[in-house]
Amino acid sequence: MTRPSMKATLCGLAASALAAGPGGMAASQPAAAPAQTPAAAPRLIGPLVPGVCLLSQQELIAGSKVGQATSARLRSLAQQAQTALDAEKSRLEKKESALNAQRGKLAPAQLQAQAQALNRSIQALQAEAGERSRQIDATRAKAFGGILQQAQPFISQVYAAHACGLLVSREVVLGGNLANDLTPEVLAALDAKVAPATFDLEPPAAAPTK
């Protein structure tokens, strides 16, 4: 009887907990460099464009004290979930090995019944791993969104102080004069006025009503 693969069941939740942040940013490890790195294009520098200001939400998360504490908490929650899943996976693997060792001793009906029960347990573990992954995604989105919401008053203040008429994501700018980057000032305000807060995993999504 074919069983669901437990190896494919549990990808590292802790490793993927921060795979995407605001705007799809990678908030954990930088991407590996390609085998052959092309020569860097010349930096484009031009005159300051009055009224056009820049902001990096990615850096507000990755560079602020509250963002770093939030990322560490997310990793901890993901690792706790991974540890529990790994323990159940190990238990099922031992149960599977024991069942394989008894194949010649059990009646076909007994073997089939125990194999089916094991399959159900493996499927339940797969479902649990998927649910934990969704919880981590929801928790990350809420936690990072909360930081950006807390930063909004500081963004508004700095935006007004620089007489900005347009605010552009720094991540989409290919080049030019970046003197009107508001990120450092907003980061400083976040570090000075926003304290990290603890949080737990978001609850599992409610099952749809039939």
Q: Choose between 26 and 130: higher pLDDT.
A: 130
Whole-prediction pTM: 0.77
Show the tokens assigned to 91: 């238990």
> Is the predicted pLDDT of residue 138 greater than 80, yes or no?
yes
The answer to whether 22 and 58 are in contact (CB under 8 A) is: yes
The pLDDT value given to residue 8: 46
Q: Tell me, what's the pLDDT at 97?
A: 94
The domain segmentation of the chain, as residue ranges, is 44-193
Mean pLDDT of the chain: 84
Residues 6+ apart with CB under 8 A from 21: 27, 58, 61, 62, 140, 144
CA separation for the pair 89, 73 (Å, rounded): 24
Q: Which residue has the higher pLDDT, 151 or 25?
A: 151
Q: Tens of pLDDT along 149-171? A: 999 999 999 999 999 999 999 99
